[in-house]
Amino acid sequence: MFNFHKDHKSLVIFSFLGFLILSLGIAVFPAYQSQNDTAPLPQVEPMNQAEIRGLAIFIEEGCVACHTQQVRSIEMDKTWGSRPSIPSDYYYSKQRMGTWRQSPSILGSERTGPDLTNIGMRQPSEQWHLLHLYNPRIVVSESIMPSYPWMFEEKANPDEGEKVLPVPAEYRKKGREIVPTQDALNLVAYLQSLKQAPLNNLPPEFIPSTNKKLDETTASTEGQGKSLLPDGKNLYMTHCSACHQAEGIGLPGAFPSLVRSPIVNDEDPELLIRIILQGYDARANFAQMPGFASQLSDEEIAAIANHERSSWGNNAPEVSTEDITNIREFVIKEQAL
């Protein structure tokens, strides 16, 4: 049909179309989706200019080849962070890296060196990081990390105000002092900024007791024929709003929105109730949700579900306490198998 050996015009057109389709599918659409479906966690401060430059140096120097920045949901990764990583962790600031540049991916695939997700908390000392860059063996004798001497200057008489590293005599020339360059300082500023943000800041007193009884003072009867249930809005604000937000909009890349959610609005409430009881592990797109089976009574879960199913434009049938009881019993039997 097409003779690309002789019809060079068709060859160029098809090559261009192939390039365009691949570019849109591999680069443009994913970047657009990432930009619109992910947002920084509220506790994360925008990166300053030194940290942004440090991130660029981190990539230029190939640090990502040996160091990952991803905490997986497995036991061995608990040493690297307080929780598994989520998409919002990689939205480094509330501004883009540039007009045509999204925040770069630095997840890495090797742990020749330790994971750096939370290095700013594990090792906050600027001096330690600078010594480690100059010669890793100064601070970690068994380290196999290469040295980065080109990021430092050797000076006989450092200028007043310059930062002088306390490098042991055996690691420097006699009569010379080691002074970090601005690149070294920027890289360390970036490393110090790597701190895993908590998903919420609820104090311990907000965690309900596993033996918590129904508080009859918060019970309300909203309409004829409805069973006596606690105040679903107050329960939602106590247990759910820290993640899903007061208006149910969630946080892109961290917590899903409940507004017009097909799960929340499903006529059959089983999946929603199971998620509240058992939790939900959607770490590919969102943070892991804990289950509330041992923390909330059937009446409280019914109240929360009804609040979610009747708020923010949602309109789904009411859930009864009996629905929760039946599904809880089924879940218990299912787990026992």
pLDDT tens-digit readout, 216-265: 434 443 443 345 678 888 888 888 887 788 888 887 777 788 999 999 99
Shared domain check, 147 and 86: yes
Q: Is the pLDDT of residue 12 over 70?
A: yes
What are the tens digits of pLDDT across the range 286-317?
Answer: 667 778 888 888 899 999 999 999 999 999 99
Domain boundary among 131, 161, 193: 193
Burial of 284 (0-12, 13-18, 19+ CB in 10 A): exposed
Whether 32 is in a domain gets the answer: no
Give the range among 25-29, 51-55, 81-85, 216-220 with minimum mean pLDDT: 216-220
**Alpha carbon distances (Å) from 295 to 115, 206, 276, 302, 325:** 34, 11, 11, 13, 14
In this structure, the answer to whether residues 229 and 304 fall within a common structural domain is: yes
Residue 282 domain flag: yes
291 and 323 both lie in a single domain: yes
**Alpha-carbon span 263 to 272, nearest angstrom:** 6
Residue ending a domain, choose from 145, 170, 193: 193
Query: Is there a single domain that holds both residue 246 and residue 150?
Result: no
User: With 60 as the cut, is the pLDDT of residue 212 above it?
Assistant: no
* Together in a domain, 176 and 238: no
Structural domain including 261 reads: 204-336
The overall pTM is greater than 0.75 = no
Residue 205: the pLDDT is 34
In a domain, 24, yes or no: no
Q: Residue 266 and residue 269: Cα distance in Å, rounded?
A: 6
pLDDT (average), residues 195-214: 49
The answer to whether the CB of 195 falls within 8 A of the CB of 120 is yes
Q: State whether 173 and 244 are in the same domain.
A: no
Work out the percent of the chain whose per-residue pLDDT is above 70.
84
Is residue 300 situated within a structural domain?
yes
73 & 213 share domain = no
**What is the rounded average pLDDT for all residues in the chain?**
82
Query: Is residue 12 domain-resident?
Result: no
- Residue 4 belongs to some domain of the structure: no
210 and 146 housed in the same domain: no
Does residue 13 sit within a domain?
A: no
Residue 214 has pLDDT above 60, yes or no: no
Q: How far is CA 129 from the centre of its chain?
A: 24
User: How many domains are contained in the chain?
Assistant: 2
Asked whether residue 50 falls in the same domain as residue 188, the answer is yes
Residue 199 lies in a domain: no
**Averaged over 146-154, what is the pLDDT?**
94
Residue linked to tokens 């701190």: 195
Regarding whether 275 and 300 lie in a shared domain, the answer is yes
Is 218 in the same domain as 94? Answer: no
Which of 125, 117, 110 has its CA nearest to residue 71?
Answer: 117
Residue 114 has pLDDT above 60, yes or no: yes
The pLDDT of 66-77, averaged and rounded, is 88
> Residues near 16 by Cβ (< 8 Å), separated by ≥ 6?
none
d(CA 90, CA 186): 19
Mean pLDDT, residues 80-101 taken together: 72
Residue 234 CA to residue 220 CA, distance in Å, equals 12
At which of 168, 193, 218 does a domain end? 193
What CATH number corresponds to the domain at position 62? 1.10.760.10
**Same domain for 147 and 78:** yes
